[in-house]
A and B are shown apart, each in its own frame.
Chain A
Amino acid sequence: MLAIAVPAAGVVLAMALGGRQAERIALAAASAGLCIALAIAANIWQSRTPIAYHLGGWAPPLGIALRADGLSAIMAVTTAVVICAIGLFARQGFSVPEGAQEARAPMVFWTLLMGVWAGLNAVWFGADLFTLYVALELLTFGAVPLVSLDGRAETLAAALRYLLFALLGSAMYLLGVALFYGAYGTLDIALLSGLVRAEPVVWVAVALMTAGLIAKTALFPLHLWLPPAHAGAPAAASALLSALVVKGSFVLIVRIWFDTIPSLLNQAAAQMLAALGAAAIVFGSVLALRQERLKLLIAYSTIAQIGYLFFLFPLASAPLRVASGTTELWTGVAWTGGVLQLVSHAVAKAAMFMAAGLIAEALGHDRIAGLGGIARVLPMTVFAFGLGGMSLMGLPPSGGFVAKAMLLMAAVAEGQWWWSVVILAGGLLAAGYVFRVLTPALAATDAPLTLRTPVSSGRQGVVLALAICALLLGLVPLRPSLLLEVGRHIPTTVIAR
């Protein structure tokens, strides 16, 4: 389908033409991609049925299908929006200098941006476990060089750690793929969901794939690669990595659990994933509080925010299907909450990383202690950072608030109140680290700040626009989303009582 092909074609074209064309191609592809994503979402919204597409006319199991359901549509639109923002933001940092035909960083950045995008769309729409493996590798290969774009020793080391750990994860995923094929002779998710039986090979395969994927998602305690990688990359790349790339592997776990083996969901394992998520929230937030550099703080906050996503597993897998249908409703709430957290964190975190990038660019450093009075000079940027922070804290009105409120409601309604304690504590800790940045930033200083480089208001505007998107997500009503239900197995339409 076009959504994958356009950025892929972008990579090829940019590579061929090189030079100044790379940026133009990327931006053209970005706007085309946004239109395609919106068109797909609109189509699904209207028809209320998922779109399936058999590539080359070969139907699964022999051929490969792409499938667009509500989740894919939402993720594709989010991706397109964030990538467009990143593209506009990066125009200044990654333009080819005058007089040169082509320069390293711009060329690499723009091609990899599109490569990552192709990978992301392949992850959102892929319906075949092996295609998804290739898509994952596309993500990894696009993301790793972005980390080490500035070529300093510590970013090289961070990139290497990232690559090696991600490769271990992919190998485990691939092993799971092999086991699935060996047992059922197909890798199509929809076909598999009808075939899987409760037997050891499924458990081993799912466990291997899940473990491999959470290594790529950097869920605690497998987060070793994330802080240096996300903090070391250039701001535009950090935004991409933190907002979108880690979400790719997360969505894959969701696809495996809820789409491939929906009938075999195991509560004990789901509880374990959520427990790791809870640990990630506490751990990531506390460490974020202790960082001295802004970008590291944001990176650790990503670890914490990823933790919330894993509450989806116990909450949306509905342990007790009571007769009245109440549980179905609440799993729907958990679903919407979880996906909204996915989206709002993507938008908010992208805005925050880019805001941090602007601040670091202006000051020449990103030490939190040295931020005094930056709000006077870059008011829009600090405002955008604050708005993003609001979403992370879960303050109304923001996407983060609605997401966390829905997860809370589902947790309580399903009798898993212990997660609600963590969700609330996480919000408080998030407030702690956001205030740690805002307090010095808003403080009055006697000496006027001297900026190393002026920051264009256009780039500030892009960041602010993205942060406002995160805020507007807070207008989503507190009920299961209809769009998300498209292609879901959960009968969310049952109204409680």
Chain B
Amino acid sequence: MNAAGTLLGAALALPLAMLLACLSSRLRTKMPALLAIAPVPALAAALLGSGGTLALPQMLLLLRFTLDVPGALLLGVAALLWIAAGIYASAWLQDRPDGGRFVVWWLLTLSGSIGVFIAADLVSFYLVFSMVSLAAYGLIVDDGTPRARRNGLIYVALALLGEAFLLMAFVLLAQGIAGDSLLIRDAVATLPTSPWRASILILLILGFGAKIGLVPFHVWMPLAYRAAPIPAAAVLSGAAVKAGVIGLIRFLPLNVATPGWGEALVVAGLFSAFYGVAIGITQRNPKTVLAYSSVSQMGVIGTVLGMGLAVGDGDAALSVGFYAAHHTLAKGALFLAVGVAQITGARRLWPVVLLPATIVSLGLAGFPLTGGALAKLVVKVPVGDGIVGTFMSLSSAGTTLLMLHFLCRLAVSSAASATSTVPARLALPWLAMALACVVVPWAIYLTVMDGSIADVVARATLWGAFWPCLLGGALAIGLRRVGGRLPRVPDGDIAGVVVAGATRFARAMGVLLERLDEVLRQWPVAGVALVGVAVVLTALMLTGR
């Protein structure tokens, strides 16, 4: 263990220690004010602790943590977002008597969210992944309305399903490892030659796909983000979802060309990218629109990873990490913007909310010179110029369209009183995040990614980033014309149908099994079964072996 390793330990230990402190009700009431402190060691670890490793001493359970470059990227921006959202949440919780419960779920999710970026072995990864996935349930259902509870249940059902896939994948992966190691690195190294390669890849893509909301697992996103309170929605959409991204980065064998699988992931990703836009523009709630934008953006990430997987491009990991880092900042910021807009009077809406939001939104679409443009530039390498590249540009156009739609919805969601002002404790985190959306990607681009300014200002790059936005803008004008005639898709689109169908099926199965139970629990039937078991066992053993 080294100094960097100690930082990693501190990054996990502080939120967990605060969680323990919550056991005392006196400390729990003080905790909301301290939320922003919890992720600070994580930020420090991201800045200083790269390359550090931490192995919990040979206790009973072997947990190992380490920090590599993509992990550090994501950890840093996630910590930044958690800090900003923490400040926002502290202010938001101020008047709530029962803030303690929210704080507990918050800290649990936070610990998991930090943990996934640094977990180095299968067990600790699964542990922190479950933490971030399941604790988020508590944040989603925070307001306790039946609608929130229903949405929370759909979320948790999909999360658990995803975890079941992952557990199976991990178990299969663990089989291949020689000796006692359960390190992810060792496990993935054996994947290309594993006899269960196909099953493992399917399970991984399904498991992490459920987390990042690849269609058709996307249904939880709009439902959950809409139900969650603003600060929670910000961290869930920004930071928590990246657990799936880091999972794909860590577990897909990006160093080895895996044709077939890569293409499949590309198709799934592109479909999500356009599907998110198509449904998103029919939505009216700005939070829902943002959720569909996340579906679309995660589709883009899936596409990039798929391209990397297809050709065996190990560098795709870092590119995706960078892209995801920008998305973390931007999406987190925009959710905070929704919250700020709701309490800002129409008169101040432009300077405080809409102007910065426009910059951030255009960044998501990759408008030239924004952080988003850098992100798109970086992922251009694995994506290439082929047909997929074209599709990616088209998806940027789609994103522009969707984000302009979002801005329109944001503009009409201002507070009732035209002159009401926002408390600084709510506005500042948002504005700081908006600033970070521009500054941080540049800083990363120039340092970690070793990028040059010349590449960014090259004419081809500028034009390549600009025309999709132009196209998107044109489409947006078109959308305003036909806007009223779009079908109204319920949030969570297919969720309603699927849930209804699943419920009906489950109920039918339940009734069936209940009837069977009544039959089986009758004495004569059970008695016959008892003797029958003995007879069958005898027969099997007589004929067996």
Contact = CB atoms under 8 A, between A and B. Distances in A.
Interface of A: 161, 165, 168-169, 172, 198, 200, 203-204, 206-208, 210-212, 214-215, 220-224, 227, 264, 266-269, 272, 276, 283, 286-287, 289-290, 393-397, 405, 408-409, 412-413, 420, 424-425, 427-428, 431-432, 435, 439, 442-444, 474-479, 495, 497
A214 B545 contact: no
Contact of B126 (A272, A396, A439): A396
B453 interface: no
A204 B526 CA distance: 20
B116 to A, nearest CB: 13
B405 to A, nearest CB: 34
B529 A221 contact: yes
Given A168-B527, A408-B167, A443 B537 contact: no
B179 interface: yes
B69 interface: no
Contacts of B536: 272
Given A206-B541, A268-B544, A290-B514, A224 B179 contact: no
B531 to A, nearest CB: 7
A224 B523 contact: yes
B60 A172 contact: no
A220 B59 CA distance: 39
Contact of A207 (B174, B179, B522, B534): B534
A403 to B, nearest CB: 13
Given A287-B513, A405-B167, A475 B61 contact: yes
Given A203-B542, A268-B540, A395 B513 contact: no
Contacts of B179: 495, 497
B62 interface: yes
A427 B510 CA distance: 17
B533 A214 contact: yes
Most buried by A among B533, B542, B543: B533
Contacts of A428: 160-161, 164
Given A207-B538, A286-B513, A409 B168 contact: no
A266 B541 contact: yes
B182 interface: yes
Interface string B171-205: 11011001110100000000000001000000000
A4 B141 CA distance: 50
Interface in B17-54: none
Contacts of B527: 168
B504 to A, nearest CB: 15
Contact of B153 (A222, A435, A442): A435
A413 B175 CA distance: 7
Contacts of B172: 412
A200 B542 contact: yes
Nearest to A411: B171
Contacts of A268: 540-541, 543-545
Identify the 5 closest CB pairs spanning chains A and B, nearest first.
Answer: A211-B534, A207-B537, A444-B144, A203-B541, A207-B538
Contact of B59 (A168, A212, A475): A475
Contact of B523 (A161, A204, A427, A478): A161
Contact of A224 (B175, B516, B522, B537): B522
Contacts of A208: 534, 538
Nearest to A393: B160
Nearest to A432: B157
A477 B523 contact: no
Contact of B534 (A172, A474, A475): A172
Query: Is chain B's interface secondary structure helix, strand, loop, or mixed overall?
Result: helix
A397 B537 CA distance: 37
B149 interface: yes
A420 B171 CA distance: 10
Given A169-B530, A405-B171, A408-B171, 14 more contacts: A198-B545, A206-B537, A206-B541, A215-B530, A266-B541, A267-B544, A268-B545, A269-B540, A396-B130, A409-B174, A412-B172, A420-B168, A442-B141, A477-B62
A479 B517 contact: no
Contacts of B196: 412
A272 B510 contact: no
B107 to A, nearest CB: 15
Interface in B97-127: 123, 126-127
Contacts of A479: 180
Contacts of A495: 179
A223 B521 contact: yes
Contacts of A169: 530
Nearest to A445: B144
Contacts of A210: 533-534, 537
Nearest to B129: A396
A494 B545 CA distance: 26
A424 B60 contact: no
Nearest to A300: B517
A283 B513 contact: yes
22 contacts: A161-B523, A169-B530, A198-B545, A203-B542, A207-B534, A207-B535, A210-B534, A212-B534, A221-B520, A269-B544, A272-B536, A283-B517, A290-B513, A405-B167, A420-B168, A424-B167, A428-B164, A442-B141, A475-B60, A476-B60, A477-B61, A478-B123
A427 B527 CA distance: 30
A397 B544 contact: no
A272 B540 contact: yes
B337 interface: no
A223 B541 CA distance: 24
Given A224-B523, A396-B130, A478-B182, A269 B537 contact: yes
Contacts of B160: 393, 427-428, 431
Contacts of A286: 509-510, 513
A220 B127 CA distance: 32
A477 B60 contact: yes
Most buried by B among A264, A267, A283, A405: A405
A450 B172 CA distance: 51
A492 B175 CA distance: 17
A425 B168 CA distance: 11
A395 B135 CA distance: 12
B134 interface: yes
Nearest to B533: A211
Nearest to B199: A417
A113 to B, nearest CB: 28
Nearest to A439: B149
Contacts of A444: 144
A474 B60 CA distance: 9
A474 B62 CA distance: 11
Nearest to B165: A424
B545 A474 contact: no
B206 interface: no
Contacts of A215: 530
Contacts of B127: 396-397
B61 A408 contact: no
Contacts of A478: 123, 182
A203 B538 contact: yes
A291 B156 CA distance: 21
Nearest to B514: A290
Contact of A222 (B171, B517, B529): B529
Contacts of A396: 123, 126-127, 130
Contacts of A165: 526, 530
Contacts of A198: 545
A266 B545 contact: yes
A287 B517 contact: yes
A208 B537 CA distance: 8
A165 B526 CA distance: 9
Interface string B148-162: 010001001100110
A425 B167 CA distance: 12
Contacts of A220: 520
Most buried by B among A172, A289, A395, A495: A395
A214 B532 CA distance: 12
Contacts of A272: 536-537, 540
A222 B526 contact: yes
Contacts of B540: 266, 268-269, 272
